[in-house]
A and B are shown apart, each in its own frame.
Chain A
Amino acid sequence: MSLAQKYSKEVKQILSKYPPEGKRSAMMPLLFLAQREEGYITKSAMQDIAQMLDVTETEVAGVVGFYTLYHEEKAGKYRIQVCTDLPCALRGAEKFMDDLCGNLGIKVGETTSDGVVTVEAVTCLAACDKAPMFQTQGPEGIKYHENMTVDKTVELINSLKNVAEASK
């Protein structure tokens, strides 16, 4: 099923935000839509979007490759994206990252063996006063988790595992 068929209501609503001459503006919201279910954007979804917006597939792929929140490869169901940028690092983010990875037994960029969580390091998320912090990117969108400890994070990961298990 094409993206337009699958999410007809959302696609219509997205296109209505932009003037006809600015149809291409729907590119980014459509890419988020294409990513919703699997957590990454497939080639066929890119083809759908190219067709909808009268642009080439290469142009769509160029946009996908440019922005860090779009993914072309499957990872864990949830991406835990820890800010390790300067302000957070001054407040212990690097140690938090090391401890978290140690606890999960994975390295930065890797996925837990059950496929639920991938841990990634990202640049500033505009929450510098609430470090250590991270966002989770998953099927429900993006959510911030601030003033975190490893214990609180493990608790969160366990609840995400339960959600993932229940949705199987």
Chain B
Amino acid sequence: MSHILLRHREIPDINQLSVYKKNGGFAAFKNAVMKMKPNEVTDVVKNSGLRGRGGAGFPTGMKWSFIDNKNWPHYVVANADESEPGTFKDREIMEGNPFQFLEGLAIGCYAVGANAAYVYLRGEFWELGSSLDEKIAEMEEAGFLGDKLFGTEYSLRIYTHLGAGAYICGEETALLESLEGKRGQPRVRPPFPPAVGLYGKPTIINNVETFTNVPMIMANGAEWHKSIGTTDSPGVKIFSLSGRVRKPGNYELPLGTTFRELIYTHGGGVQDSRKVKAIMPAGASSSLILVDDDKILDTPMDYASVRTLKADLGSASIIVVDDTVSMDWLVNKTVHFFKHESCGKCTPCREGTYWMSRISERIHDGAATRADVDLLLNVAKQMQGKCLCALGEFSTMAVVSGIERFRKDFDNAVKA
């Protein structure tokens, strides 16, 4: 099957405007603006069953329909903060097929009546930011952005905005704070951004991959999209495959593809032909899937099926862990990540990640006792359900699942 999102893999130079246009580019946006009402666009996306690709899997069309039409102006923000360890798909989209992303963003703006959109890129995507600025300028020149588009009353401008290195800014309200020139600390919700977002105005925030799906849905229809993937999770997904596999990389596959197909057919299998010990399907925020039975690899990767393994698909950043890895080392890594990235706003996360990192460090150094393993588990469980945003919750996932499912690794690392 040819790609729907990573089309640059088949169409050379699709990152050039002329080539993108030649391959149907901007026809969907033009058609929407000239011939459709904004709510009709939202309805198509709603009917397509598209779910947000940033991690939460929230229905995209439904989110768009939540925009508060009594408060203006509206804004749309593309979340290009891609910072989850194990995730590197949005970068490939924006480098390889940037116009499809920008067209999807533009369609989203029209659907919710926004005349301005921001692409919030993590600051490390410095070069990508400059290249997107050039693409946006080309779109303006070609009449796809600017005032009174296609002879209608609709106007739209898109701007890039660079973050400066903070994982938390991928959380949508922290992102808004950051975009407003503040420390990236999450807001208390509700109100949610479709009611009160950027500059206090109704705002829709979607992931890069989510927007990139939209032009093809508008061009081919909701039914076409629903015919791919599973009923619960329609469409394709870009799986970022990393860790101990022979061929790491991005693989665009229908939702519902099995772990086995991704790891063995596409990823070339495990390095040195070792055994898969665990899988983290949602990057460092994942619960560790214990692969003690080969049949687990036949689980389809869709939102509902992954949940049966007591984990979440999230952003589908599949980190493969083989049997050379001890989980006390792995958990020490993830805990240090979250401690570094905790924004410090709420106490359970700020203090919890600090203490978890102290204990996990001690375990990994061989200076701990079994009681410390229980203490680590206890701290993680105490944090759960008490943090202001998902980061705090995520920081406990690998800890709790790691200790509960791979206790032996921890016991081996400590003094009796």
Binding site for B on A (CB under 8 A): 17-19, 21-22, 24-29, 31-32, 53, 55, 59, 62-63, 66-70, 85-87, 89-91, 122-129, 135, 141-144
Identity of the chain B residue whose Cβ is nearest the Cβ of A125 in the assembled complex: B124
Main secondary structure of the interface of B (DSSP, over half): mixed
| Interface residue from A18, A66, A135, A141 paired with B183 (Cβ < 8 Å) | A66
Contacts of A69 in B (CB 8 A): 123-124, 164-165
Question: Are A32 and B337 interface neighbours, CB within 8 A?
Answer: no
Identity of the chain A residue whose Cβ is nearest the Cβ of B183 in the assembled complex: A66
- Chain B, range 251-283, C-beta contacts under 8 Å to A: 283
Question: Are A25 and B179 interface neighbours, CB within 8 A?
Answer: yes
Question: Are A29 and B161 interface neighbours, CB within 8 A?
Answer: yes
How far does the Cβ of A73 sit from chain B's closest Cβ, in whole Å? 16
* Of B82-90, B97-105, B142-150, B212-220, the one touching chain A: B82-90
Question: Are B91 and A126 interface neighbours, CB within 8 A?
Answer: yes
Contacts of A135 in B (CB 8 A): 124
A150 to B334, CA, bound (A): 26
Within 8 Å of chain A (Cβ to Cβ): is B151?
A: no
Please name 5 pairs of A and B residues whose Cβ atoms are closer than 8 Å in the assembled complex, sorted by A: A25-B161, A70-B164, A85-B333, A87-B283, A144-B127
Contacts of B333 in A (CB 8 A): 85-86, 89
Contacts of B368 in A (CB 8 A): none
Contacts of B162 in A (CB 8 A): 28-29, 32
Q: Scan B314-340; emit 1 where CB is below 8 A from any A CB, else 0.
A: 000101010001000010011001001
Question: Are A67 and B164 interface neighbours, CB within 8 A?
Answer: yes
A66 to B243, CA, bound (A): 30
- Chain B, range 45-91, C-beta contacts under 8 Å to A: 82-88, 90-91
8 nearest A-B residue pairs (beta carbon): A27-B181, A67-B164, A68-B165, A129-B248, A142-B126, A24-B181, A128-B242, A69-B165
- Chain B, range 91-146, C-beta contacts under 8 Å to A: 91, 116, 122-127
A59 to B178, CA, bound (A): 13
Contacts of B313 in A (CB 8 A): none
How far does the Cβ of B157 sit from chain A's closest Cβ, in whole Å? 9
Identity of the chain A residue whose Cβ is nearest the Cβ of B128 in the assembled complex: A144
Binding site for A on B (CB under 8 A): 82-88, 90-91, 116, 122-127, 159, 161-167, 178-184, 198-199, 240-244, 248-250, 283-284, 317, 319, 321, 325, 330, 333-334, 337, 340-341, 343
Contacts of A17 in B (CB 8 A): 159, 161
Contacts of B242 in A (CB 8 A): 87, 90-91, 128-129
A25 to B249, CA, bound (A): 35
Interface centre among B126, B127, B181, B319 (most CB of A within 10 A): B181
Question: Are A67 and B166 interface neighbours, CB within 8 A?
Answer: yes
Question: Are A19 and B123 interface neighbours, CB within 8 A?
Answer: no
Contacts of B123 in A (CB 8 A): 28, 32, 67, 69, 142
| Interface residue from B127, B249, B337 paired with A124 (Cβ < 8 Å) | B337
A47 to B273, CA, bound (A): 58
Contacts of B337 in A (CB 8 A): 85-86, 123-124
Contacts of B165 in A (CB 8 A): 67-70, 122
A85 to B123, CA, bound (A): 18
Contacts of A144 in B (CB 8 A): 124, 127
Contacts of B178 in A (CB 8 A): 28
Identity of the chain B residue whose Cβ is nearest the Cβ of A25 in the assembled complex: B181
Interface centre among B182, B317, B341 (most CB of A within 10 A): B182
Question: Are A123 and B340 interface neighbours, CB within 8 A?
Answer: yes
Contacts of B167 in A (CB 8 A): 123-124
A3 to B161, CA, bound (A): 20
Question: Are B124 and A87 interface neighbours, CB within 8 A?
Answer: no
